[in-house]
């Protein structure tokens, strides 16, 4: 198993930490309802290095990278024996929904 900490090939990945204001929930409790957290651009995440929120454009990219990473991890951890038609169907479906479109170039 390889560690996934090295530098990213295409886009530099920023290490994210949970926002301390909203505990990573992206929202804070207002008086009557929850409000978008102003500290982290309502993402729940800030840069782990600086503790500052990322600019929106960067944030979107970083969250995208992160989701992809987690999806790939989940894929790897899934037991490979998906025998039977229903298992295969679900696997293919999942790939088609999320995995195919996000390769960049
Ligand atoms: Zn926050």
User: What is the pLDDT, as a whole number, of residue 94?
Assistant: 57
Query: How far is ligand 1, taken at its centre, from the CA of residue 53, in Å?
Result: 9
Tokens of 24: 């990573």
| Assessment of whether the complete model's pTM goes beyond 0.75 | no
Task: Please tell me the distance from the alpha carbon of residue 92 to that of residue 10, in angstroms, as a whole number.
Answer: 27
Binning the chain into helix, strand and coil, the percentages to the nearest 5 are 35, 10, 55
Query: How far is ligand 1, taken at its centre, from the CA of residue 31, in Å?
Result: 17
Query: How far is ligand 1, taken at its centre, from the CA of residue 28, in Å?
Result: 7
User: What is the pLDDT, as a whole number, of residue 79?
Assistant: 81
Distances, alpha carbon 93 to alpha carbons 12, 21, 57, 86, 88, in Å = 30, 37, 29, 11, 8
Query: How far is ligand 1, taken at its centre, from the CA of residue 24, in Å?
Result: 6
User: What is the pLDDT, as a whole number, of residue 97?
Assistant: 54
Q: pLDDT by residue for the chain (105 residues), tens digit each?
A: 555 666 556 678 899 999 999 999 999 999 999 999 999 999 999 999 999 999 999 999 999 999 999 999 999 998 877 666 665 555 555 555 555 555 566
């Amino acid at each position: 198993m390889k560690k996934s900490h090295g530098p990213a090939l295409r886009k530099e990945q920023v290490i994210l930490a949970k926002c301390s204001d909203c505990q990573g929930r992206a929202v804070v409790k207002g008086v009557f309802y929850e409000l978008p957290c102003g500290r982290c651009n309502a993402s729940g995440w800030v840069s782990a290095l600086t503790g500052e929120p990322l600019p929106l454009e960067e944030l979107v990219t970083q969250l995208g990278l992160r989701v992809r990473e987690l999806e790939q991890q989940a894929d790897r951890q899934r037991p490979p024996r998906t025998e039977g038609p229903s298992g295969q169907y679900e696997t293919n479906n999942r790939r088609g929904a999320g995995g195919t479109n996000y390769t960049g170039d």
